[in-house]
Amino acid sequence: MASTEQTPLLQEEDSSIIPPEGEAPQPRGTFARRLGALDGFALLISIVIGSGVFSSPGPVDANVPSPGAALLIWLLGGVLAWTGALTMAELGTAFPGEGGIQPYLSYIYGEVFGYMAAWSWIVATMPATLAILSIVFVESIYSSFGVNEPQPPITHKLLSLLVLVVVSTANSISTKTSTRLSSFFVAIKLLTIFLLIVAGLTAVFMFVVGHNDLGGGDWHEKSWFESRSTVNPDGSPLDWKGVSAWQSLGFYSTALYGALWAYSGWDKANYVAAELRNPRKQLPLSINTAIPTIIVCYVAANAVYYVLLPWRVVSTTDAAAVTAVTHFLGKGVAYFATALICLVIAGSALGNSFVAGRMTVAASNKGWIPQLLGTVGHIGTFRVSKSSTEGDHTGEAMDKGESPINSLILNTGLSAIYILLGNMRILLTLNGLAEYAFFFLTVLGAIILRFKEPELERPVKPFILIPILFAVISGFVVVRGAVFAPVQASILLGIWAIGLALYYVRRNVVNRRIAV
């Protein structure tokens, strides 16, 4: 393994600045290695499967010319998740430790890249994620009443804000709540997908044996790969026959962001590695069984939507599962399905809010953002919790039940801005651009390390074409997606510019203090 004192591989040494964090993270000792491949499989399933498969089908369908193309997008999203997870496992086992992709970026490119990843996650990715979940929660309820609007009114936004505040408050009261409920939410997710697939198979079976079609009808009357008109986010029709190849690539990029939202969590494969008895063998086995299983579930669930619904409806809804069940079984059963799906969304929101708070605290502990945001049990500078001593480390305090209230307030405020100024489909693209720009850099770095440090011990080492495939597809999707969505790209560039300016201001201030 490379020396821990060296300068990051792609950064020239400069003694006039703060030395970047170029060392590999220390091995993690938090978790006991007691899990096998089956446990790793279950953990990955629980991490990846969330609310996206119930909410993303509409945004995906609206940006492709046919249902068949939509299913191919879901397949491609799964392949990206699969190749990305294997590459992340390579980095995670070569550099065991906490922090997600940040230590990898710091090691390969320099501290500024690790900082920018943290900044982007705190200011863009996580707030957009919480905003999307809050919006989908509300839209699922409205869909159960038959209300599906491409541009929801302000009342929907206000209710989404209420959901956001409730979730943040729950995590402010106790950080243990969402983690204790995680197993329950996983069971609800799998049950809901199972019931959806059963409903689709029932509709197909009834039609095959000669009964009246219980589905939408289009699935057996029209070609699954024939272009048809869809609906733009502003409600106007889109005739795919007049769309150029270059424009189509932009639409497909936007559709892929919707699918990738549903596959979010594949980058956490290295977290699973920390608890496996033999990561070298068990981690690839876990990934190579869990993610194909998820792909099959997602493609099957989306095929069910096209069986149960008229195809013109799929592109107009942000709550496809609820809409499909309502059409298939009526409003009575739809209310039950809505309750299940809202539980799934609530679980995802609680978990993401929990993670967002801890990410903010971690960045504060590194000195990347103000220390006030790294405190626990405080509102501003006022201490509101007495459950642990003042001398506790923030991590220890959170483990005892303390909440990073200041960071949660920041995340809630940013998420509220996204809810008020955007909608789900705009936020999906923003979220995808923010995440995959850094995923691309991380996987590109893994490829660079193959040549720069061939002697580096890699317990998990996928074939080189796997990270190359991810880098090529994700790089193109990021660039074409940014060109096709200039507003979201401009917002993201502005966020990054502010973060970069703050980084260099902080660095100059610290350097002056050192000089004095």
Handedness of CA 381, 387, 392, 393 (dihedral sign): negative
Kind plus residue range of the DSSP H or E element containing 484: helix 465-484
Which pLDDT does position 5 carry in this prediction?
Answer: 37
Query: For position 28, what pLDDT does the model report?
Result: 40
* Cα 161 to Cα 138, 255, 340, distances in angstroms: 10, 26, 21
Q: Are 74 and 60 in contact (CB under 8 A)?
A: yes
3-state secondary structure 126-170: HHHHHHHHHHHHHHHHHHHCCCCCCCCCHHHHHHHHHHHHHHHHH
The predicted pLDDT at position 228 comes to 84
DSSP codes, 8-48? PTTS---TTSPPP--SPPPPP-SS---B-HHHHHHHHHHHH
Per-residue pLDDT of the chain (516 residues; tens, 9 = 90+): 333 333 344 443 333 333 344 443 444 444 456 667 787 787 788 788 878 888 899 999 999 999 999 999 999 999 999 999 999 989 988 887 655 788 899 999 999 999 999 999 999 999 999 999 999 999 888 888 877 776 778 899 999 999 999 988 887 775 555 555 666 767 777 788 888 889 899 999 988 887 777 788 899 999 999 988 777 666 677 888 888 888 999 999 999 999 999 999 888 777 666 667 787 888 888 899 999 999 999 999 999 999 999 998 898 888 888 888 888 877 777 788 888 888 888 878 887 888 888 888 888 888 888 888 888 877 887 877 665 445 456 656 655 557 788 899 999 999 999 999 988 889 999 999 999 999 999 999 999 999 999 999 988 899 999 999 999 999 999 999 999 999 999 999 999 999 999 999 888 887 777 766
* 88, 265 Cβ separation under 8 angstroms: no
The total of other beta-carbon atoms located within 10 Å of residue 319's CB is: 31
As a whole number of angstroms, the distance between CA 408 and CA 332 comes to 37
Phi-psi region of 99 (alpha: psi -120 to 50; beta: other; left: phi over 0): left
**What confidence score (pLDDT) does residue 95 get?**
81
| Helix, strand or coil, per DSSP, at residue 229 | coil
Percent of residues in the chain assigned helix, strand, coil, to nearest 5:
70, 0, 30
Which of 354, 314, 297, 225 lies closest to 81 in space, CA to CA? 297
Give the fold, CATH level 3, of 37-515: Amino acid/polyamine transporter I (1.20.1740)
pLDDT given for residue 344 in this prediction: 81
How far apart are the C-alpha atoms of 50 and 344, rounded to whole Å?
A: 7
